[in-house]
Amino acid sequence: MKRIKRKTKFELHPLMAYVLLIAFSIILSGILRLIDVQATYTTVNNITLELNPITEVIKSLFNLSGVKYIFTNTVSNFANFTVLSNLIILLMGISIMDKSGFLQTAITLTTKRLKKKTVTFIFVLLCVLSSIFGNLSYLIFIPIGALLFYYGKRNPAIGIIAAFAALSCGSAINVIFTSSDSELLNYTLLASHTLNPNYIISHLAFVFIMAVAVLLVTYIITIVTENIIVRKLPKYEFSETELEEDIVTKDEKKGMIYACTSAGIYLLIFIYSIIPGLPLSGALLDNSQTYYIDKLFSVNAFFNNGSVFVITLLFIILGLFYGIGVKTIRNHKDFCDNLGHSLDGIGNMLVMIFLASLFISIFKQTNIGNVIVASVAEIIDNTTFTGLPLIILVFFGVALCNLFVPSSTLKWYMLSGTVVPVMMRSVMTPEFAQIVFRFAETTTMNITPMLAYFIVYLAFLEKYNQRDKKVRLIESIRYQMPYTIIIGLTLIVILILWYVVGIPLGINTLPTMR
């Protein structure tokens, strides 16, 4: 009998996907530079309020100087890639919480009587609101999301996918005025002064529309996760021991009391140190800033610079004192061994982070992303659209730009000098222009490999994968597409509704200037 040969489906390894992206970026830069692709955007002089055109050109890496750049900067770029160092530090704290048993007990106590959808909703809401802490949230909630669903006897990949969707699609929406909002507001205000030098914007200008967006995005992510993602993922195989019902013992409750008491004391001391105006307080703040959020998260603020270690130390305290209470940590050897638990077998993760850092560095050096953003600025500047067509044009233009330049500050620096005046001439307020920008960029933040933290999402999917085949780059993006489509359509509807009805964006702020 003849043997029937089964054709094996070709599947591209995620590492090779990044290698191909690197090669494609280098070759594309050479081609685009050869045909002299360039674009111009407008910035505003903060003193004279004059509009200054800036031309962006492609930088070719498909030549000798490009090869020199790659070889001389690869190691330093990897060493300075903050995702790597911050992830390793935070994993030590998460490791001791997990290994000591704290996380399993905490998750059991808080979720045992809750429905699965309720747990997902609360977790997603926390992820969305955590945008106040910036990109650090990715490194905290993605690994914790995996463990939350794992100890809930569900596929950990569900938690990873939901966490990344919430962190990315919620990165630009928050009821609290964030440090990122403050930076963008400066550019918005500066651009508005080209038409109205006396224009003033309040930091409470977005609170109403943001509150609605937070709740709707949280609900959508929960529904998509439970009704689409759960069905797409394969069944996770647990051992019989892992499937046994978790019962919290008296010792474990005692350990929780130890952990929460010690962490509470630590947090009280820390919180006191970031309250301005009290005796010996405020030492962790940058008092040169105006808004309190900027005092916390400015470049010179100790809170911002030391936040990774502050949170890691909190995790270590929780895990250590819980372990002492339940006797899973009996001596210094147990403590030291627990610190490295989550770092076991992360070799593949490190290689993925290395290639991601190389790809991002090379793509930024080619300047392709900036040229795309400048091209969108040109299109918006030359459009004759007004009203709803203009809103939709700006929305999709920004969403496209975000795929290539995830940095909110850089995008708005390049776009605000065009978008704000154009929308003001169409009788829309500068605040509404910033809201359109923020809503647009948040819809595609979860599907761009240019986001430095995308590799963390992909790496943890790979870590908890039980299948023989690797988790592909395209597959990881495909998991996120339902969130992008549904959230994008929802946010567009919100913008149209607010514009047509004239609902206040926030305190004393409307979408139009009529």
pLDDT digits over 65-96, tens only? 999 999 999 888 888 888 888 888 898 899 99
Give pLDDT, residue 155. 92
> What is d(CA 139, CA 504) in angstroms, rounded to the nearest whole number?
35
How does pLDDT run across 31-45, given as a tens digit for each residue? 999 999 999 999 998
Residue 41 located in a structural domain: no
> What is d(CA 229, CA 226) in angstroms, rounded to the nearest whole number?
6
Helix, strand, or coil here: 9? Answer: coil
Query: Quick one: CA torsion of 453, 346, 360, 30, rounded to 10 degrees?
Result: -150
Give pLDDT, residue 1. 45
Residue 280 pLDDT class (50, 70, 90 cuts): low
Give pLDDT, residue 11. 66
Residue 3 pLDDT class (50, 70, 90 cuts): low
Dihedral angle sign, alpha carbons of residues 132, 137, 142, 144: negative
Mean pLDDT of 459-466: 86
Helix, strand, or coil here: 55? Answer: strand
| Per-residue pLDDT at 4 exceeds 60 | no
| Per-residue pLDDT at 343 exceeds 80 | no
| Per-residue pLDDT at 138 exceeds 50 | yes
> What is d(CA 75, CA 88) in angstroms, rounded to the nearest whole number?
18
| Per-residue pLDDT at 7 exceeds 60 | no
pLDDT cut 70: percent of the chain above it: 95
Let me know: does 149 contact 230? Beta carbons within 8 Å: no
> What is d(CA 450, CA 136) in angstroms, rounded to the nearest whole number?
17
Residue 507 located in a structural domain: no
Residue 377 located in a structural domain: yes
| CB neighbourhood size of 386 (10 A) | 14
pLDDT cut 90: percent of the chain above it: 62
| Per-residue pLDDT at 436 exceeds 70 | yes
What mean pLDDT value characterizes the chain?
89
Residue owning tokens 């609101």: 129
Residue 140 located in a structural domain: yes
Task: Tokens for 87, please give them.
Answer: 């992830």
Helix ranges, 327-472 (H): 332-339, 347-366, 368-382, 387-404, 408-425, 430-444, 454-463
SS (H, E, C) 235-276: CCCCCHHHHCCCCCCHHHHHHHHHHHHHHHHHHHHHHHCCCC
Number of domains in the chain: 1
| Per-residue pLDDT at 339 exceeds 60 | yes
Higher pLDDT, 321 or 11: 321
Let me know: does 39 contact 367? Beta carbons within 8 Å: no
Residue 493 pLDDT class (50, 70, 90 cuts): very high
> What is d(CA 64, CA 67) in angstroms, rounded to the nearest whole number?
5
| CB neighbourhood size of 243 (10 A) | 8
Residue 139 located in a structural domain: yes
How does pLDDT run across 214-260, given as a tens digit for each residue? 999 999 999 999 999 999 988 888 776 666 667 788 888 899 999 99
Mean pLDDT of 97-105: 91
Give pLDDT, residue 420. 96
How does pLDDT run across 143-157, given as a tens digit for each residue? 999 999 999 889 999
Task: Tokens for 97, please give them.
Answer: 């919480």
Residue 7 located in a structural domain: no
Residue 192 located in a structural domain: yes
Give pLDDT, residue 504. 95
95-122 CB burial, b ≥16 within 10 A, e <16: bbbbbbbbbbbbbbeebeeeebeebbbe
Residue 283 located in a structural domain: yes
Which structural domain, as residue segments, surrounds residue 358? 64-501
Interstrand relation of 38-44 and 51-57 (parallel, antiparallel or unpaired): antiparallel
How does pLDDT run across 163-204, given as a tens digit for each residue? 999 999 999 998 888 888 888 999 999 999 999 999 999 888
Kindly report the pTM of this predicted structure: 0.92
Mean pLDDT of 505-509: 92
| Per-residue pLDDT at 26 exceeds 80 | yes
